Structure 1
Amino acid sequence: MTVEERIEAADRRKLEGNDYFKEKKFEEAMQQYEMAVAYMGDDFMFQLFGKYRDMALAVKNPCHLNMAACLIKQKRFDEAIAQCSIVLSEDEINVKALFRRGKARAELGQTESAREDFLKAKKHAPEDKEILRELRSLAEHDKAIYQKQKEMYKGLFGPRPQPKPKARNFILLFWQWLVSLIRNLAKIFTRKND
């Protein structure tokens, strides 16, 4: 097979996979995408450069992304992350790969990693409503966890101690008053004697 024939065969498999995906036949779609990627094996990709490499990646990367979409639908999030990471190793600013990896990470509870992916995707597609919705969802999730933790730890250490007012030492106050009185009397007597 020539390079063009291999790329065309992979593209046909990708299109068949897309048809299965639309019918919600995710396993069948996965098989087609995997066969398409098999046409673009590492040995084959290693030999390509220039326009042929770009043509091959234009088929291969969407197959990985479509596999990730199938895996997310099947709740196989770790595998979806791996598929997106393959694409990101070739194209680190691929918005779809960042978004899908972020979505899979969020489903696994990896909120910080998910947020990083969504923020990188937002940087390159600031108007994308899906990305903004996922970021809001993460913020609400964080807020809910904070409230839950706040309730959980409430009263754990008891109420905060209130500062006690200092007891007035009446002896000290009396002594200060007495010293002040004696000074004033002394001033008065010294003025009279002058």
Structure 2
Amino acid sequence: MEAGEESMDVQGAAAEPSFSGYKQTSTKPVWTLLEDAAQMKTEGNAFYREKNIRSAIGRYHRALLVLRGLDSEVMTSMKGFGHEMPPLTPEQEAALRNTQVDCYNNLAACLLQKQSVDYARVREYSLRVLQWRPGDVKALYRAGVATLEMGDAQTAKQYLTQACSVQPNDANVRKHLQRAEEKLNRELQKERAMYRGMFSSSLKSSSGGGINQTSRAGEGV
């Protein structure tokens, strides 16, 4: 699967929507909750393949809501509220993070399929993936595309260059990397033209002042 493709990441990585105030009240065993979240992710993938983006997004959000109640990074800050879960084993922690990463990466892919793309959210989700899984090529690609669309060609180039180093033959990655480089080049040319204009104006002002001084001196004689 190419990094530039907007297909689902069955084993990808991801970012996140916000579920403020959520309290984990389920009494289900941790593994059952992890399996529930993984099943929701699988259903989301199926909806995506059917081009039912809205339903896919809904499934990924539901999966992340379940996982949020298990995430030690989240629950530490909410200690004392709701039902407290026992600490996760390393295996459970890995399963949780992998499903989170999949859901966030897939959410970013879904958002890029919408008619009106929220590039800030795409970047947010992709950066969450990179926080957990640095070097994830799909997250690098999507972060680069979103950052470029938001106007920051320099940072976009960094993301896309990293993605290109992993998949140098990916046409979509190379296309957007070229777009970033072209935008940077245009900005550089514009900046150079501005400085040339400023320098030229400065020279004219300085030259004009010297002539006037000579003229006045001559008049004095």
Same fold (TM over 0.5): yes
Is 1:53 aligned to 2:93, yes or no?
Answer: yes
Separation (CA, whole Å) in 2 of partners of 1:15 and 1:139: 37
Find the structure with the greater CA-based Rg: 1
Q: TM-score, normalised by structure 2?
A: 0.61
Residue aligned with 2:101, SS? helix
Unaligned runs of 5+ in 2: 1-27, 73-86, 205-221
Q: Which has the higher helix share?
A: 1
Mapping for residues 90-129 of structure 1, pairs under 5 Å: 90-129=132-171
Structure 1 equivalent of residue 123 of structure 2:
81
What amino acid does structure 2 have at the position aligned with 1:69? Answer: A
Structure 2 equivalent of residue 66 of structure 1:
106
Change (3 A) 1:48 1:88: farther
Q: CA deviation at 1:152?
A: 8.5
Q: CA deviation at 1:121?
A: 2.3
Q: Aligned match of 1:22 in 33, 49, 52?
A: 49
Structure 1 equivalent of residue 21 of structure 2:
none
Unaligned runs of 5+ in 1: 162-194
Question: How far does the alpha carbon of each residue in 1:53-112 deviate from its partner, in whole angstroms, 9 at most, with x for none?
Answer: 222222110100111112223310111111112212211222211111111111111111
Q: CA deviation at 1:52?
A: 1.8
CA RMSD of aligned residues (A): 2.7
Structure 2 equivalent of residue 12 of structure 1:
39
Give the paired residue count. Answer: 159
Question: RCO greater where, 1 or 2, for CA within 8 Å and sep 6 or more?
Answer: 2
What amino acid does structure 1 have at the position aligned with 2:163? Answer: A
Separation (CA, whole Å) in 2 of partners of 1:116 and 1:84: 14
